[in-house]
Amino acid sequence: MTLGCQYFVIPLWRGNGYTTMFSQVKIPHIIFTGLEDYKARGTQASPYFTVTHYTEFTDTKDLVLVRGDVVFTSKLTDEEAKVLLETTQSFYLNDVRYKLVERFNKQIHDFEFKDVLQALEMPSM
């Protein structure tokens, strides 16, 4: 992961549409909150979901343990949290998708959310 690309927006499908989640990736941690909450409260926004990566076995077992905790259960289900983490990982671990993360962090004026929707094959609302 390139230094300085710790923020991203992820659409989370709900019913007939999606809600947009805001993520901060600073390994070993990832914090997720709703984009609207982040816009309203900035760094004081309550986390909906936190993830911690435990890398102690990386060298010996080629294994990373991951723990996710849904903090705000009224805002996010366990299944939604799972999808959110998998989707976020797909953007940080795939070179083509990661270009959108870089654009969001380094060239925000060129960033188009519809490109994220397109990458995920989600309809624009």
Residue 14, token pair as written in the block: 């709900």
Cis before 11 (ω within 30): no
Walk along the chain (125 residues) and give the pLDDT tens digit of each residue. 446 799 999 999 998 899 999 999 998 999 999 999 999 999 899 999 999 999 999 999 999 999 999 999 999 999 999 999 999 999 999 999 999 999 999 999 999 999 999 999 998 86
Question: Do 17 and 125 meet the contact criterion of CB atoms below 8 Å apart?
Answer: yes
Q: Count CA within 13 A, CB hemisphere, residue 45.
A: 22
Q: What are phi and psi of 72, to 5 degrees?
A: -115, 80
**Residue 57 near residue 64, CB atoms below 8 Å:** yes
* Contact indicator for 33, 45 with CB cutoff of 8 Å: yes
Cβ–Cβ < 8 Å for 92, 25: yes
For the chain, which residues make up each domain, given as ranges?
7-119
Closest CA to 108 of 2, 9, 1, 3: 9
Tens digit of each residue's pLDDT (9 = 90 or more) over 91-119 = 999 999 999 999 999 999 999 999 999 99
Q: What is the pLDDT of residue 15?
A: 85
Q: Specify the pLDDT at position 46.
A: 95
**Burial tier of 32 (Cβ tally within 10 Å: 0-12, 13-18, 19+):** buried
